[in-house]
């Protein structure tokens, strides 16, 4: 229950193992409305919040949720009548906790620690009533402070005009600059990545992605460049609330407060001398979830590995087949190293794609390579850059047939990635067809690289005719990828 929005988020989870989002209901309650001027929650704002919570309570009862916890943030803790409001919430039969600023920051930090692969980072969570800026060190909450820089608060105090005047904007920028001067200097001294969470940054990131026709419409892991934010801020400042509500990516109920929030981010990036920030799709709700499903210190061991396993758990496939494709694809990668020269980062991409290559079977056999790519494209993969996610999506998309085509994803790829995509796809596809019978008949491979050909000898209990027949169909693809003719045989089955 934030200062601007209340959201019910429903998760199903297996302790220590996996979780998935089941449902969510979002209600704009604007709890902080009028708080900056009066110091108290208005009767209208409390009424909106109580109505939303009654809706959530009834949903929880009717869907037989095992547990429902309500936590409130800055508006409830800062208001003079906050205790009275919490009593009204409890009268609904709800268990509610009011997070202090440090608790709120710690929950957000935990979400980031389990969502990105940074050991150290700065984290900002900008809500309606306040902004928490925290320091994460070795993936743990080190320190944090709450600033009176919430989007609702700043809009009411500084931006009464529609659109705002240049004087109003200048006064707000100066106020923000004064409040963040100290933390901006600290960030300049320790310029670790800045990670942003919360609804304001998600709206700004969506708007920038829409304006750039960004090919991967996922926010988590998106690097929002300061120059792009400055262009968007200039556009939003000149627009009325009505016109802002029509900007792709901006929710209509945030159109009146989005300028104030955007100016906080723009000013912080500029004063801290950062080129941009990383957007997190995980926030304090997920921080609370991790505290309930993981043992202390509530951290997954390796973020990226957990993300892959978590997605596989949602669309599980026979483990034996998946593991054997992983094994064979890595054997091809290792044996062909003299031809490709790649290292552990490329091997990791191949292994992740091998783990997920068949998740599309959860939809159906026909077109499962396309189904799998869709599922990867539309699900969260914590710890992964958008470039890596695009490559894994393409590897799964082309693990059965056709020449890999980056399509719209080409904008996310680096120089040499098309060649990388072809070679990794070849390793994965050969592994898939050498496991065609799903019986793990190929125990290992032996590769001999010549000037004109690559000879693959299969180690098997008996002659694997089906696997050889299917894999040899990829000879032309192999030659395009590695510049060598491919031959496959099993010279001594049963040894």
Q: Are 256 and 149 found together in one domain? A: yes
Res 169: pLDDT: 98
Residue in the structure block whose two tokens are 């483990």: 319
Q: Are 59 and 129 found together in one domain? A: no
Q: Are 36 and 24 found together in one domain? A: yes
Beta-sheet pairing, 194-197 with 121-126: parallel
Q: Which two tokens stand for residue 472?
A: 């040899």
Res 253: pLDDT: 93
Q: In what order do the strands lie in the sheet with 194-197?
A: 140-147, 131-137, 121-126, 194-197, 276-279, 223-225
Per residue in 11-59, pLDDT (tens digit) is: 999 998 899 999 999 999 999 999 999 999 999 999 999 999 999 999 9
**Alpha-carbon torsion angle 393, 397, 402, 406, nearest 10:** -30
Strands (DSSP E) contained in 342-417 are none
Q: Which two tokens stand for residue 49?
A: 């919040």
Q: Are 125 and 269 found together in one domain? A: yes
DSSP 3-state of 81: coil
Res 101: pLDDT: 86
Q: Which two tokens stand for residue 148?
A: 């009176």
Q: Are 164 and 78 found together in one domain? A: no
- Angle between helix 199-211 and 258-272 (nearest 10): 90
Q: Which two tokens stand for residue 383?
A: 């710890």
3-state DSSP helix/strand/coil percent for the chain, to nearest 5? 50, 15, 35
298 within some domain: no
Which residues form the domain of 60? 5-98
Which residues in the chain land under pLDDT 50? 495
Q: Which two tokens stand for residue 113?
A: 């620690």
Distance CA 290, CA 296 (A): 10
CB-CB contact of 25 with 60 (8 Å) = no
What are the beta bridge partners of residue 25? 8
Residue 481: what are its φ and ψ, rounded to 5°? -80, -40
Q: Which two tokens stand for residue 347?
A: 């091997």
Number of domains present in the structure of the chain: 3
Distance CA 222, CA 209 (A): 9
Res 493: pLDDT: 64
Q: Are 140 and 268 found together in one domain? A: yes
CB-CB contact of 6 with 49 (8 Å) = yes
Q: What is the pTM of this model?
A: 0.93
Distance CA 7, CA 28 (A): 8
494 within some domain: no
- Beta-carbon contacts of 189 under 8 Å, excluding residues fewer than 6 positions away, are none
Q: Are 393 and 352 found together in one domain? A: yes
Q: Are 341 and 394 found together in one domain? A: yes
Q: Are 403 and 434 found together in one domain? A: yes
Answer positive or negative: Cα dihedral of 196, 201, 207, 211: negative
Q: Are 180 and 242 found together in one domain? A: yes
Ramachandran sector of residue 457 (left: φ over 0; alpha: ψ -120 to 50; beta: rest): beta
Task: Tell me which of 63, 98, 133 is where a domain ends.
Answer: 98
Residue in the structure block whose two tokens are 């609330």: 241
236 within some domain: yes
CB-CB contact of 22 with 292 (8 Å) = no
- Beta-carbon contacts of 244 under 8 Å, excluding residues fewer than 6 positions away, are 236, 250, 255, 256, 258, 259
154 within some domain: yes
The C-alpha angle with vertex 410 and arms to 407 and 416, in degrees rounded to 5, equals: 125
296 within some domain: no
Specify the CATH number for the domain of residue 77: 3.30.420.40
Specify the CATH number for the domain of residue 345: 1.10.3210.10
Res 43: pLDDT: 96
């Amino acid at each position: 229950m934030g200062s601007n929005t209340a959201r019910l988020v429903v998760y199903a989870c297996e302790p220590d193992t996996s979780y998935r989002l089941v449902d969510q209901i979002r209600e704009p309650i604007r709890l902080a409305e009028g708080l900056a001027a009066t110091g108290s929650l208005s009767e209208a704002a409390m009424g909106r919040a109580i109505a939303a919570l009654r809706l959530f309570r009834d949903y929880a009862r009717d869907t037989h949720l095992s547990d429902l916890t309500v936590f409130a943030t800055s508006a409830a803790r800062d208001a003079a009548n906050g205790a009275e409001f919490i009593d009204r919430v409890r009268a609904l039969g709800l268990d509610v906790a009011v997070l202090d600023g440090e608790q709120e920051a710690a929950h957000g930090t935990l979400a980031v620690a389990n969502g990105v692969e940074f050991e150290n980072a700065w984290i900002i969570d900008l809500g309606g009533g306040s902004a928490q800026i925290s320091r994460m060190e070795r993936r743990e909450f080190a320190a944090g402070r709450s600033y009176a820089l919430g989007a609702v608060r700043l809009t009411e105090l500084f931006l009464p005009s529609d659109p705002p005047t240049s004087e109003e904007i200048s006064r707000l920028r100066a106020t923000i600059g004064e409040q963040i001067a100290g933390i901006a200097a600290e960030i300049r001294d320790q310029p670790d990545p800045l990670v942003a969470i919360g609804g304001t940054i998600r709206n700004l990131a969506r708007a920038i992605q829409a304006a750039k026709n960004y090919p991967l419409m996922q926010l988590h892991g998106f690097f929002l460049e300061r120059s792009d934010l400055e262009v968007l801020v200039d556009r939003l400042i000149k627009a009325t609330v009505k016109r802002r509500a029509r900007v792709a990516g901006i929710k209509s109920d945030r159109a009146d407060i989005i300028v104030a929030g955007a100016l906080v981010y723009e000013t912080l990036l500029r004063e801290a001398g950062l080129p941009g920030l990383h957007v997190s799709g995980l926030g304090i709700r997920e921080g609370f979830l991790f505290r309930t499903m993981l043992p202390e210190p509530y951290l997954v061991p390796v973020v990226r590995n957990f993300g892959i396993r978590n997605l596989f758990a949602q669309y599980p496939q026979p483990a034996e087949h998946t593991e054997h494709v992983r094994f064979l694809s890595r054997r091809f990668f290792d044996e062909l190293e003299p031809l490709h020269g790649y290292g552990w980062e490329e091997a990791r991409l191949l292994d992740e794609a091998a783990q997920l290559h068949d998740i599309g079977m959860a939809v159906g056999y026909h077109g499962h390579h396309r189904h799998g790519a869709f599922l990867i494209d539309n699900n969260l993969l914590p710890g992964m850059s958008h470039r890596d996610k695009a490559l894994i999506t393409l590897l799964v998309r082309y693990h059965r047939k056709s020449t890999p085509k980056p399509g719209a994803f080409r904008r996310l790829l680096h120089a040499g990635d098309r060649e990388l995509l072809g070679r990794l796809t070849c390793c994965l596809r050969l592994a898939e067809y050498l496991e065609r019978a799903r019986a793990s008949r190929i125990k290992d491979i032996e590769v001999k690289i010549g000037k004109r050909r690559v000879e693959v000898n299969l180690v098997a209990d008996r002659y694997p005719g089906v696997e050889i027949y299917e894999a040899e169909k990829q000879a032309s693809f192999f030659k395009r990828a590695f510049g060598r003719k491919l031959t496959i045989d099993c010279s001594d089955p049963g040894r």
